[in-house]
Structure 1
Amino acid sequence: MKMNSKFAAALVMCALIGLAASEEVNGKPSGMAEPSVEELATRLLQATYPGSAELNEVPLLAGKLPDDMPVDLPIPDGARIIGSEIQEGKGIYIVLDVPLMPDQALDFYRKALPSQNWTETDIPGMDRGFVQGDPRITFCKGMKNPSLTVTAHPQENSTDLHIGISSDPDYSPCSQASFDDWLRPIPKLSAPEGSRQFNEMMTGGGNRAAVSATLETEINSSTLEDHYADQLNAANWTRTGEGQSGPSSWSAWSTEDENGLVWNGFLIALDLPGSENQRFVLVQASLEDN
């Protein structure tokens, strides 16, 4: 993973805390403009890397698309363009409100994009682990060309549509299209209804695969472990042990993949200390030694 998002967030938070402390001691700085919501959003989106002294510029365009679009993007009739984010050298991210249901919005792009030589592509591993619950499709023009990902978030009588156009092959999901299913044997794991999932992490390949996520939910760790255990069981995993200790619940598992290889794994759900409704979940599987 090229950017540690937690590291970037920590730097931003330290800066904000330092600013607050300075103002408490010295009062409001003179000669400085009042911070705006736009400035805050831009600062939070700026990516940084360990050892780098510079922040990348992340232009935000309210209510419009970039002038220099890398693709001819079709827009549904009646759509409201919320705005765009430009990640220099990496891609463009666009937010729309469209007067369609999520499935209808995705079907619009399934019909409109093939005429421009886009092909809907299944990306290995993208349907495994703690995946986002909202419908998503990815289009490719080959491994080294831009990718286009459409995610549909349901709203009342409309859809919040997020479109990501990746212009850097190193960041494009299309470059993974020929890879083996690197998160095997972990199945798709859907979050409980009404929860919010974030901080997804995944690693895989070879003889081990692991996925984790943080959830905001009123469900405690014990009930959350049961929720994901049911999904592992439905994916033909067999429970071999279980337990609970304080804020954590866990279970041990075994499964055989489509190649006849046996994997041993575990599931952990943890109530995060200091946060009333945040939980951490982790699933890991390791290939059994012969």
Structure 2
Amino acid sequence: MFGKKFSHYFTMLSAVVLGLATVAAVPTSEGESKALQYLLQRWLGFPEVQLIPGQLPKQLPVNLPLPEKAKIVGSIAHSAESFEIILDVVQSPEQAKTFYEQQLIKSGWQIEKQEDSSNQKSGFVLSNSILDDNSTNEDMTYCSISHKAILSVEPANKFFSTTEIRPEVRLKLELSPSTSSSEFQCSVSKSIEKVQLPALVSLSDVEISGVFGTNLKTSADSYAVLNTKLDAQALMNNYAAQVEKFGWKRQDSKQNKTGIWNTWTFKDNQGQSKQGMLSITQLAGRKNEYVAYIEYH
């Protein structure tokens, strides 16, 4: 089941990327732009959503800082009070995170501290990775009483292909114009207890050229692009031993010409059963490169 899901995920991801490339090649007349807008609205299932390629929303009531050389990929106006902006940046996630912290605090924003009962590293980590590990991909939340606004800043390294990784920043702005200034308050969020992925350390002769992942309340995943002369089985043996030490129990193992994947089970902090998967897949046409993947749900 997990093998099919993993294969389906990459098939779907490839289809989306190819679809976007096709759209980019189509002439952008006003009529075609409106038709594309309508198609995407229907596809997303939110007809009230406004998609704005390459620009900030004109009705954006807050002046947001942009990192140097940032390129606006586009914006999504969910409503007059909810916006999302996607930026391509040249800065690393950590540099982008520092930039926004400095600029927003200077402009009067406050940090809404996220109290998390488990702050350990998780997923694929390596001290000499050429890119930041998962810990730098966590978002920061800011609050402005004067604007009555909450801003989430999400810097991350994102895969655009099996060999290309780019830093990006997503800004999510939520406004509360109907709330009086006396009622709008910046508060500290309640502690959220997350079930962490095990922290997986690579062998010394494995170079990680890219890492990203997500860590939600009930699920998490982590990806890493590996460059090594080791084979898939040696990589799996190293990571699987760490997963077992973390308390997961192996259920099944499958292997084909392109890789290996194992399924796992464990219980979360509330005693609920969880399912996990760990896989090592060789990149097509690249002898010494692999994608390592771990997830639970």
TM bucket (normalised to shorter chain) is: 0.5 to 0.7
CA separation of 1:244/1:178 partners in 2, compared to 1, >3 Å: closer, same or farther?
Answer: same
- Equivalent residue, structure 1, for 2:83: 91
Matches within 5 A, 1:249-260: 249-250=261-262
d(CA) in 2 for partners of 1:178, 1:68? 32
Report how far residue 73 of structure 1 moved. Answer: 2.0
Report how far residue 188 of structure 1 moved: 5.3
Q: For 1:105 and 1:14, locate their aligned partners in 2 and report how far apart those are by CA, in whole Å.
A: 29
Which residue of 184, 187, 190 corresponds with 1:178? Answer: 190
Distance in 1 (CA, whole Å) between partners of 2:285 and 2:272 is 37
In structure 2, the gaps of 5 or more residues are 1-8, 125-131, 159-165, 177-185
Deviations 1:236-286 (A, max 9, x none): 6146558643233427576896x9x7978654316499998775734447x
Deviations 1:74-118 (A, max 9, x none): 345xx12312411121423242546x6654443332233235232
| TM-score of the superposed pair, with normalisation by structure 2 | 0.51
Deviates more, 1:118-127 or 1:7-16: 7-16
* Inter-CA distance 228–123: structure 2 relative to 1 (3 Å threshold): farther
Cα contact 2:112–2:143 (8 A) shared by 1: no
Alignment of 1:60-99 (within 5 A): 60-61=53-54, 65-75=56-66, 79-89=68-78, 90-95=82-87, 97=89
What percentage of residue pairs aligned between the two structures are identical? 12
Deviations 1:175-206 (A, max 9, x none): 9943632x3253456897124657x69672xx
Report how far residue 227 of structure 1 moved.
5.3
SS of equivalent residue, structure 2 residue 54: strand
Of the three residues 248, 251, 255, the one matched with 1:246 is 255
After superposition, the Cα gap between the structure-2 partners of 1:126 and 1:10, relative to the gap in structure 1 and judged at 3 Å, is farther
CA contact (8 A) 2:133 2:211 kept: no
Asked which structure has the greater RCO (Cα within 8 Å, sep 6+), the reply is: 2
Task: Please point out which of 166, 170, 175 is paired with 2:173.
Answer: 166
Say yes or no: does 1:140 pair with 2:142: yes
Is contact 1:145–1:167 with CA below 8 Å preserved after alignment? yes
Match for 2:109: what amino acid?
Answer: N
Q: State how many pairs are aligned.
A: 240
Q: Which runs of 5+ in 1 are unaligned?
A: 20-33, 205-209, 286-290
1:220-239 equivalences under 5 Å are 221-226=232-237, 228-229=239-240, 232=243, 237-238=246-247
